[in-house]
Structure 1
Amino acid sequence: MQKEFKLPELGENIEAADIVNVLVKEGDFVKKDQGIVEIETDKATIEVPSSVEGKISKLFVKAGDRVKVGETIMVVEEETQETTKTTESVAEEKNKVESLSAKKEEKKTEEKPASKPAVSGEKKIVDFHLPELGENIESADVVNVLVKVGDVIQKDQGIIEIETDKATIEVPATVSGKVIEVLVKAGEKAKVGQTIIKVETGDVSETKIVETKESEIIQEQKSEETKPEFIKQPTTEVKGELPKLHPMEFVEQPPILKGAAPAAPSVRRIAREIGVDINKVPGTGPGGRITMDDVKAYSKKLHESRAEGIGIGIKAEALPDFSKFGKVKKVEMSNIRKKTAEHLSYAWATIPHVTQFDKADITNLEKTRKELSKIVEKSGAKLTVTGILVKVVVEALKKFPQFNSSIDMEKKEIIYKNYFNIGIAVDTEHGLIVPVIKDADKKSLTQISVDMNLLAEKARTKKIGLEELQGGCFTITNLGGIGGTYFTPIVNSPEVAILGVSRSSYEPVWNGYGTFEPRLMLPLSLSYDHRIIDGADAIRFLRFIVESLEQPLKMLL
């Protein structure tokens, strides 16, 4: 029995991913949960495990392909007696068809020398035009051309395969004769009334004789050779073959509005659901056809232009030709880098940012951290300042709920969250990734440290799951391991605040008794959304964090 393995759901609003690497090949035997492909989404690079087990009979993807959610990755064959029998049956049916085709060819060969075509009427050149396809359908995309110059065609024979806004269909010929010119090719758009082919017509008796003989052969074999069941059977059972799509009849073509944009019904439906006028969307597909990605890109631009605080009508300046000044190297952005650039550009353009700075004296905290590290290390993790900050931030979010919210400017609503998921920015060779520690308020400091260590390792080795990157309430980004003093982190929309941590250092601090003491000071940078958070609230929030680091028992009060 054959089983299809399809690209599973990858997370909210993620509909496709790029294949970075294919980890198996045809003929391999795969087990459940074995890695099949390595994909790169807008969020991370991850391995996709198999949900089926068996021998790979067909592999449909390769590195560099873009695959949509639900698209078939491979077909796995479970070796059973029933499968073997079915395959043999299909092979027999194929042999029968080939035999029938051979008989047809023999008959054609026998009939041709019998007599030369007798032309009873004058030969003439006839233009075959694309006929009316349905009410208000003015054009269609040519998917495939089924004839070539020199072919002898019969009336009602399929000439081209076209795709309209509603279906993919074959267009039958309305004349018989010899094709002397083909005026369209696959990928082009053809208008109703446009000349498709030129045909030399005439009453050719040879054609009629052969047609009669072929009809007799087909009629003789019909009961056992051309059953409808046979047409369907091999397409569902033979390894690696895809089902044949039967085109919709002309009478089934539903009418569409005049002048409608070239887009599939599924694309039109999505456009309607998200409030996009499909006729205004520029198409990037063959012949200007509108794809799902075109609709999404257009919708995104609309939302960005309507968002509060964004500059409308800002024209991008063209880059100069840098090669005039020296050697250059162009490298295409990875999906993660593209998404990061788009997301942060959107956040910076739509959120009125303010950044508040402060320092925390962590001299005593650092001594305690080193003492407690031995306990945490027994669990296989390290106790870090970032881990401690997760617990501190959770308490701050409880005390200042406006920091644990999101803002909906279209509905003019504030969404307050009653859960506490903290994102930790991780620097990887693939780009910035933000894993999320879920339910941080319910976890001990040791468990948070273990989770942080595990998530960071997954992010760096491309093993992280998409669900581990979603649902954050507040983000912490720590650059202290690299250096620096202060910086202005960009709010990770739809969150409303982010805490930046820089490298701690010893500084002389006035002790109030006439001398300066060396104290270990930790620089903190709090960026926030000024639409919902006022400056006074921001400094109170930041001071709570500072005081909690300096006097941890304050959190218990």
Structure 2
Amino acid sequence: MAFEYELPDVGEGVAEGEIVAWHVSVGDHVDEDEVLAEIETDKAVVDLPSPVAGTIQELHAEEGDVVPVRSVVVTIDVDGGTDDAEGTADASGEPEAGSGGETATEAAGSEEPSVADGRVFAPPNVRRLARELGVEITAVDGSGPSGRITEADVRAAAEGDDEGTTERSDGEETTGRERTSSGDGQRKSAVKRRSDTERRSATGRRTNGESASADAADRERTLAVPATRKVAREHEVDIDEVPTEKERDGEAFVEPEDIERYVEARESAEVGASVESAEASAEGRPAETTAESEVTAESTAAGTGDRPVSTEPYRGIRRTIGTQMQTSSQTIPHATHHDTATVDDLVEARAELKPRAEDRGISLTYMPFVLKALVAGLKEYPIMNTELDEEAEEILYKEYYNVGIAVATDAGLMVPVVENVDQKGLLDLASEVNELAEKARNREIAPAEMRGGTFTVTNFGAIGGEYATPIINHPETGILGLGAIEQRPVAENGEVVARETLPLSLSIDHRVIDGAEAAQFTNTVIEYLENPTLLLLE
């Protein structure tokens, strides 16, 4: 039976997804729950597991294509007739709970119900970890609810595999990272790779410059975080060809700087080839035509006259950010209040507490201090912790304090939310902020972790700068921008002295908040930042 698998509705308002990479080709046999592709939405990158076991008949989208939800993405010839397909996915192609077709919401940690047919229950992030560590997911015992497999289960299985090797039936030794296929007695990866002629990058054709790739690696498997793979796609680089000396769990591990070095070497080789071609032309010798020269010619032809241009699709997270910023700027009349806090005592307090935090494995930044001072200000001026319901014509006062932290990532600006800031200590906040920021940068953050904010903080000073006009995260009514903490001249008792100062930029929704309230709120925040012992009261 031919089963047409539609891109499931992953919720959270997502209407489409981009095919980042196919893990299968036409003719490949796949098992139920085996990952078919990586899908990038405007929320996150998620795996697309197969709801049935069978043979791939047709792929209906190319890598880099944007596919609407409920569009057919792959046709599978189901093993054993119709019985395997029925009950696993409904007529719309949407996976049922526990079928392996987890959505982005399930990847965030929702429990999967118990099913008595022996299927493996593990969310996409756990399956991805299993692939990176070379663990056969079907051999892992789940310790979670209803036998659900957790990251800890996978890591424990990986550590157990590393203790020794097992002997294959043919007498050869193999490590636990080699995964068994079904039925042929041989060991191979559960995720089949395309042949070299079939593989291509998600953003375009691969170039064929032998001189450029003379020092390239030739691996069958490479570990890398999603952000690194995005860099590889942007540069049209096969990540398996990028040289690296780094390893993780015994496998080659590539980071963005490895890709940059490889691209620089490739470009240098291309320049050398161009020079050789010019010399050959001057001497009357024919020059070889390479794929690189064809690509360069196409790029130049696509330009404006003598001014070549390149393009980048406006979609995914970048488009979501743009839409949100446009809605905010067009809906909210922004007003920005600037001020400066003198924070010598804060700098000293953090310096004193930082070693103690490191002893507990926590990196203590200034952000937890700012969050506590911010909540003190929000409690004193509740108008800052509001939302304007335009349809009901009501101002909603929120009596909880969930603060969004703007994080710059390779994919754009993301805003993870730290919930119930008023109920947490400095070290708890530091640990949570660090964890959320890392998950955002690695594109592993769940949509639920970016919802429910009541106020936002953006730290542009970490990159450089003093003041700005931050755009409010609609439908909130305020956002606080932080400049860089540096020594600056301050007038004291008629003299100019050097003091550690923190520039602050507060943008408000002027429909709801007056300038006087913004100034008073900022003064309260400054009071707590300049006197960090007051934070003990919060």
- Return the TM-score normalized by structure 2: 0.53
Match of 2:249 in 1: none
**1:368 aligns to 2:349 (yes or no):** yes
Structure 2 CA distance for partners of 1:478 and 1:79, relative to 1, 3 Å: same
1:301-324 deviation per Cα after TM superposition (whole angstroms, max 9, x unaligned) = xxxxxxxxxxxxxxxxxxxx9936
What is the CA–CA distance in structure 1 between the aligned matches of 2:15 and 2:400, rounded to whole Å?
Answer: 27
Match of 1:65 in 2: 65
1:388, CA displacement in angstroms? Answer: 2.0
Match of 1:46 in 2: 45
**1:467 aligns to 2:466 (yes or no):** no
Contact persistence 1:22–1:36 (CA under 8 A): yes
Structure 2 CA distance for partners of 1:429 and 1:370, relative to 1, 3 Å: same
Match of 1:426 in 2: 407
Contact persistence 1:46–1:464 (CA under 8 A): no
**1:415 aligns to 2:399 (yes or no):** no
Contact persistence 1:381–1:450 (CA under 8 A): yes
Structure 2 CA distance for partners of 1:61 and 1:324, relative to 1, 3 Å: closer
Contact persistence 1:11–1:467 (CA under 8 A): no
1:358, CA displacement in angstroms? Answer: 0.8
RMSD (Å), alpha carbons? 3.3
What is the CA–CA distance in structure 2 between the aligned matches of 1:49 and 1:329, rounded to whole Å?
Answer: 31
1:423, CA displacement in angstroms? Answer: 1.1
Gaps in structure 2 of 5+ consecutive residues: 87-301
What is the CA–CA distance in structure 1 between the aligned matches of 2:385 and 2:392, rounded to whole Å?
Answer: 18
Contact persistence 2:376–2:524 (CA under 8 A): no
**1:499 aligns to 2:476 (yes or no):** no
The 5-angstrom pairing of residues 128-527 of structure 1 reads 323=304, 326-512=307-493, 515-527=495-507
1:530 to 485, 491, 510: 510
What is the CA–CA distance in structure 2 between the aligned matches of 1:30 and 1:372, rounded to whole Å?
Answer: 52
1:477-504 deviation per Cα after TM superposition (whole angstroms, max 9, x unaligned) = 1011221111110111111111111112
1:520, CA displacement in angstroms? Answer: 0.2
What is the CA–CA distance in structure 1 between the aligned matches of 2:56 and 2:72, rounded to whole Å?
Answer: 13
Contact persistence 1:420–1:440 (CA under 8 A): yes
Contact persistence 2:35–2:50 (CA under 8 A): no
Contact persistence 2:39–2:48 (CA under 8 A): no
What is the CA–CA distance in structure 1 between the aligned matches of 2:53 and 2:308, rounded to whole Å?
Answer: 51
What is the CA–CA distance in structure 2 between the aligned matches of 1:356 and 1:529, rounded to whole Å?
Answer: 11
Amino acid at match of 1:19: I
Structure 2 CA distance for partners of 1:67 and 1:379, relative to 1, 3 Å: farther
Amino acid at match of 2:45: I
What is the CA–CA distance in structure 2 between the aligned matches of 1:46 and 1:328, rounded to whole Å?
Answer: 29
1:511, CA displacement in angstroms? Answer: 3.5
Structure 2 CA distance for partners of 1:82 and 1:491, relative to 1, 3 Å: closer
What is the CA–CA distance in structure 1 between the aligned matches of 2:402 and 2:5, rounded to whole Å?
Answer: 33
Contact persistence 1:379–1:450 (CA under 8 A): no
SS of 2:456's equivalent in the other structure is strand
What is the CA–CA distance in structure 2 between the aligned matches of 1:349 and 1:407, rounded to whole Å?
Answer: 15
Which is richer in strand?
A: 1
Match of 2:526 in 1: 546
Structure 2 CA distance for partners of 1:370 and 1:496, relative to 1, 3 Å: same
1:83, CA displacement in angstroms? Answer: 5.7
1:363, CA displacement in angstroms? Answer: 1.1
1:523, CA displacement in angstroms? Answer: 0.4
SS of 1:456's equivalent in the other structure is helix
Contact persistence 1:491–1:527 (CA under 8 A): yes
What is the CA–CA distance in structure 2 between the aligned matches of 1:518 and 1:68, rounded to whole Å?
Answer: 57
What is the CA–CA distance in structure 2 between the aligned matches of 1:327 and 1:80, rounded to whole Å?
Answer: 55
SS of 2:461's equivalent in the other structure is coil
Contact persistence 1:52–1:76 (CA under 8 A): no
Structure 2 CA distance for partners of 1:490 and 1:76, relative to 1, 3 Å: same
- Return the TM-score normalized by structure 1: 0.51
SS of 1:480's equivalent in the other structure is helix
Match of 1:18 in 2: 18
What is the CA–CA distance in structure 2 between the aligned matches of 1:361 and 1:469, rounded to whole Å?
Answer: 32
Larger displacement relative to structure 2 (391-400 or 58-67): 58-67
Structure 2 CA distance for partners of 1:37 and 1:458, relative to 1, 3 Å: farther
Amino acid at match of 1:518: A
Computing the radius of gyration over CA atoms, which structure comes out larger, 1 or 2?
1
What is the CA–CA distance in structure 1 between the aligned matches of 2:353 and 2:80, rounded to whole Å?
Answer: 59
Amino acid at match of 1:48: D
1:236-295 deviation per Cα after TM superposition (whole angstroms, max 9, x unaligned) = xxxxxxxxxxxxxxxxxxxxxxxxxxxxxxxxxxxxxxxxxxxxxxxxxxxxxxxxxxxx
Say how many residue pairs are matched: 319
